[in-house]
Amino acid sequence: MKSKIRPDGSKYYTYLIVYVDDVLSIDINPNETFKGISNYSRIKEGSIGSPKIYLGANILKRNIQDGKRQPSECYAMSLHGYTKENICIVESHMGKHDMTSPSSRRYRSNTPFNNSSYRPELNYTEFRKDELSSLYLNLIGMFK
């Protein structure tokens, strides 16, 4: 985050968001930022443009008006697409490993965590097979 001055003299903040090799610049003139970065690193051809997706999140540009100032543009992130894709992946794995969800068995109200008679210390469910351990870790990472 860096403070800058607009051409009209007002102050604003520019943001540079970096995750490994994914860079998102929120600025009036992001090309200036990427020009500086290109002095140190190679930038993939055609990758500079108005952001649409960053790390799986949809980037939306909106005009806002708060009643106190002129309308201004802002960016927002939505996980709708990311979540929808993750649900498809989970359903695919559930089909491969013959798993069903409580809602598909039509006993949604009897799941362990909303049932007052459930006692986790008395749960003797078998541990999962080793090949499912890595799947479990991948699924946890997706929804972090």
Name the packing angle between helices 80-96 and 130-142 (round to 10°): 170
Three-state secondary-structure class, residue 134: helix
Q: What is the mean pLDDT of residues 77-96?
A: 86
Residues 66 and 107 placed together within one structural domain of the fold: no
Tokens 């809602």, residue?
Answer: 103
Of 78, 102, 129, the position where a domain reaches its end is 78
Pairing of strands 22-26, 53-54: unpaired
Q: What is the mean pLDDT of residues 67-95?
A: 82
C-beta separation of 97 from 134 below 8 A: no
Of 78, 96, 131, the position where a domain reaches its end is 78
pLDDT at 113: 55
Q: How many Å separate Cα 57 from the centre of its chain?
A: 4
Tell me how far apart the alpha carbons of residues 37 and 43 are, in angstroms, rounded to a whole number.
8
Residues 43 and 91 placed together within one structural domain of the fold: no
For the entire predicted model, the pTM comes to: 0.54
C-beta separation of 89 from 141 below 8 A: no
Tell me how far apart the alpha carbons of residues 52 and 123 are, in angstroms, rounded to a whole number.
45
pLDDT at 44: 87
Residues 15 and 72 placed together within one structural domain of the fold: yes
Q: What phi, psi does 71 have (nearest 5°)?
A: -55, 145
Residues 94 and 110 placed together within one structural domain of the fold: yes
pLDDT at 127: 64
The domain containing residue 95 runs over which residues? 81-142
Domains of the chain: total? 2
Q: What is the mean pLDDT of residues 92-119?
A: 62
Residues 38 and 94 placed together within one structural domain of the fold: no
Residues 73 and 55 placed together within one structural domain of the fold: yes
